[in-house]
Structure 1
């Protein structure tokens, strides 16, 4: 982008409000013809919007985003293939699946984190298909990395069972300290939905109770 184009977009965005948070400065418009919904990129998860990180970089609101057309799951095991926690029993914004094996189910936040860590080795965690799976995930708004897998460098990733456990906000407001975490409420620790390498107390980053996911400044 040219500098003058960037300045023009910023001026125009200052006059537009996000349909999710209702604050000004929104610059992303749904690409569906006739739809005038505008939103901030960080608000996308809360509004269940999708941005495709390839080609024309198109964005869609919750109503017009691409939908996965998967068959009913053969098994009754409603667990995420990545974190093994429970997933919804149907495909939705938060619950996704593999278009090839049709059996893998995973949280959007889990597959996004896997995509960034796996890099060029990103594939279905169950059937290991890569090409068709990667194309589907890109279409559904999963951001991929062109880097080698993070686990190939001992300096970039720790033990697989080591979970980040501190608040990395510029100013931590918790009296219990950065390592304190509660199961829910203002001192619940939220990890970055993309890298899971940074965290914040809900209150320290002014997150609402309804906030589904949060991304660190690096991501």
Structure 2
């Protein structure tokens, strides 16, 4: 029936240690008894709940090994190694209630790595769980004792997200987030000057080229379209006197011809280029199309060869051979 007893501390089933006070219905799990400030003794294996802990004041076990006094019996912590009691406040590092289950005094601490006491070298004691480790058994291993507080691998946790760690105060993800946050705080200062340096340069570039390009490309394109005319003109520009006599000598003849061909030749040439190819292709195709129909008529002629049935009509002419009926009349004649 004890398996169905509910622990008075965690309120879960499975409590097996009862309070030895008369008429007390409380039960506890062994770790919960230490965490709830119950008085425990290994000599008599008795447990008294916090309400009845005062009943143990007259016992020899109810003495602190440091102050050698009973003091507050609810503050006494039992060493699971030697069975001595210690006040939590009398220890170098005061123990919180959740740190009391399975606690061992400094003399009884065992290395959690090799399970040997720290006789030759002092143990590293975790500030969270009070477990001890040799410096060589700790993970990661250390050459010397830390100057400040230290946590074992089971108690190391990221200060940001609470994830368990090994050897650092923050996990890699949180370290990256911190680095990115620090980078973003420092980045805005260089960013604005970079944007400012870019914006004015872009504005200057756009302002300067905008007015000149329209006239220059427009004029260049118009002169580039006439093609050979502008190219011939620049050499004439080098000799200005040569340009004037040339238009004076043949202006009436060449000017009308120059203006007419650019207007007439370009329209005439594209139609000529487009018209001949389509005209030549249809001319070549029709003969090819006419030839196949000529062959079928040749195939149709065989029916004309079948005219032999027409010859039988002359063979059918034997009716004139029916003269035998004519002979009877000859018989009749004799």
Name the TM-score class by shorter chain.
0.3 to 0.5
> Please, what TM-score do these two structures have when normalized by structure 2?
0.27
Larger RCO of the pair (alpha carbons < 8 Å, separation 6+): 1
Give 1 or 2: higher helix fraction: 2
Q: Considering only CA atoms, is the larger Rg found in Structure 1 or Structure 2?
A: 2
